[in-house]
Amino acid sequence: MGAEKSPSTAEPGRAPEEAAVPADHPGVSELFAVLAYGEISAFYRLAEDARFSPSLRGRVALASMAAAEMSHFETLHTALTERGAEIYAAMEPYRKALDAYHASTTPSTWLEVLVKAYVGDGIAADFYCEIADMLAPEVSTVVREVLAETGHSEFVVQEVREVVERSPLQKDRLMLWGRRLLGEAITQAQYVLAQNEELAELVILASGDLTNIAALFDRMQVEHAERMSVLGLH
Amino acid sequence: MGAEKSPSTAEPGRAPEEAAVPADHPGVSELFAVLAYGEISAFYRLAEDARFSPSLRGRVALASMAAAEMSHFETLHTALTERGAEIYAAMEPYRKALDAYHASTTPSTWLEVLVKAYVGDGIAADFYCEIADMLAPEVSTVVREVLAETGHSEFVVQEVREVVERSPLQKDRLMLWGRRLLGEAITQAQYVLAQNEELAELVILASGDLTNIAALFDRMQVEHAERMSVLGLH
């Protein structure tokens, strides 16, 4: 996760009682668990997608991004253990939806790999960052840490821009690909929320109410469009 | 690299002029380059071999080992850049031999994956540690750092011992597998040395002479047997 979104600075003036979701809400462990499985599945997806790389440099870039996911996984592992949760059992319910996201968005070219690594992780980061704002500080610190920039997105931006600037055909294809990534991500996010009551309650609490959840998904579309634009896809 | 060998403590009393191989020997960049490609190829081998894992825990263990390789790669990247070498060009000559090692030792079971991760990395670590003793301190520091324990070998030891203690058939198979790993590693090491004069000179300087190289390979066999024994393979 987190090829894109910078963690916003903490709000030192905010008292813990202002958090919409208290640190002991049972949905917090569920949130950490879905994030943790997200890191593992992103690791293996990046490692597998590297087979499309035309160069050793590309393989190294993807391996570095994958390694950063594992460092985030360790943070979540520690956080879950501190909450008394067993990480492997906790992740189990989320395997199906996350594996389904990757299965439905398997890249078939190196450019699709790069756009997915950048845009797909960005969509997830947008969603979690929106929620993080309303969590108790000790929880939001963990969420922001695992969504931090991995520092390799510059490589993706350069590679993609260079191609789409000279090929309208590639540009059209990648714009459709980006739209598909967003659609599949939202489908699977809704599936995850429908599946776990505690997590759904956490998201509703964090958003305020159901109307706000709709507004949250709208903002994600805007942020997605901005990110596509950075890649020259607009 | 380095699932096994602990870095020995530095020798603070040793003056730089005692090093058999000076820091500016041209073989040093070659040594860093072959180590760097070793990390990349180990990363992708571990990620690919994880498909044999019967559990999510096993997939996480292999991903963590793979991530540690990338941290070592970064150390070598920095060291090569400081020496004015371009890492991708520098690694290129070593791809063939290292890829050949992995192609000739592709595991076909989860236990073979674990034994290869433990024993294969151990063989490489033994070889490089022997050489590191004779390098200039600023060079041997880098070599020892990238061969450091990755902290996940305990998982391998437990998994393998548990099986071989109750299955003589598995034990016999894995003993043959271990022997094959050693044979292929030595074959490819000799191929690498025959291919690059500067690296070969570095190894000869570090060993003293050709007789000592033979003694070095003998010691590696002893260390290999000890490592197999830790896995219950003796």
Q: What is the pLDDT of residue B2?
A: 40
pLDDT at B222 over 70: yes
Pick from B51, B52, B56 the residue to mutate for testing the A interface (most A CBs within 10 Å).
Answer: B56
Q: Cβ–Cβ of B88/A63 closer than 8 Å? A: no
Q: Cβ–Cβ of A43/B57 closer than 8 Å? A: no
Cα separation, B110 vs B177, in Å, equals: 12
Q: What is the pLDDT of residue A14?
A: 47
Cα separation, A141 vs A7, in Å, equals: 9
Q: How many CB atoms lie within 10 A of CB B212?
A: 14
Average the pLDDT over A155-172 and give the result.
Answer: 95
B48 touches chain A (CB under 8 A): yes
pLDDT at A232 over 70: yes
Among chain B residues, the shortest Cα distance to A86 is held by: B57
B148 near B3, Cβ under 8 Å? no
Q: What is the pLDDT of residue A6?
A: 43
Average the pLDDT over A138-151 and give the result.
Answer: 85
The band of A154, judged by pLDDT with boundaries at 50, 70 and 90, is: confident
**Tokens 């998994």, located at residue:** B159
Cα of A35 to nearest chain B Cα, Å: 14
* Helix orientation angle between B27-49 and B56-82, rounded to the nearest 10 degrees: 160
Among chain A residues, the shortest Cα distance to B44 is held by: A47
B220 touches chain A (CB under 8 A): no
Q: What is the pLDDT of residue A11?
A: 45
The band of A217, judged by pLDDT with boundaries at 50, 70 and 90, is: confident
Single out the residue of B19, B16, B46 nearest to residue B150, CA to CA: B46
**Tokens 């000790």, located at residue:** A138
Q: Which of A63, A70, A73 is nearest residue B40 as measured by Cβ atoms?
A: A63
Which tokens hold the place of A64? Answer: 């570095």
A1 near A144, Cβ under 8 Å? no
Of A59-73, A92-106, A140-154, B196-210, minimum mean pLDDT range: A140-154
Q: Cβ–Cβ of B88/A57 closer than 8 Å? A: yes
The band of B208, judged by pLDDT with boundaries at 50, 70 and 90, is: confident
Single out the residue of B64, B41, B54, B2 nearest to residue A50, CA to CA: B41
Q: What domains are defined for chain A?
A: 26-231 (1.20.1260.10)
* Helix orientation angle between B197-207 and B27-49, rounded to the nearest 10 degrees: 100
Which chain A residues are closer than 8 Å to B40 by Cβ?
A: 56, 59-60, 63
Cα of A40 to nearest chain B Cα, Å: 7
Q: What is the pLDDT of residues B95-126, one digit of tens each?
A: 999 999 999 999 999 999 999 999 988 888 88
Cα separation, B202 vs B193, in Å, equals: 10
With a CB cutoff of 8 Å and minimum separation 6, the contacts of B218 are none
The count of residues in chain A is 234
Cα separation, A223 vs A4, in Å, equals: 11
Cα separation, B34 vs B36, in Å, equals: 5
Q: How many CB atoms lie within 10 A of CB A151?
A: 11
Cα separation, A232 vs A175, in Å, equals: 10
A160: helix, strand or coil: helix
Q: What is the pLDDT of residues A50-92, one digit of tens each?
A: 999 999 999 999 999 999 999 999 999 999 999 999 999 999 9
Q: Which of B56, B63, B91 is nearest residue A91 as measured by Cβ atoms?
A: B56
With a CB cutoff of 8 Å and minimum separation 6, the contacts of B231 are B115, B118, B119, B156, B157, B160, B161, B164, B174
Single out the residue of A80, A79, A66 nearest to residue A117, CA to CA: A66
With a CB cutoff of 8 Å and minimum separation 6, the contacts of A193 are A199, A200, A203
With a CB cutoff of 8 Å and minimum separation 6, the contacts of A12 are none
Q: What is the pLDDT of residues B3-20, one digit of tens each?
A: 444 444 444 444 445 688
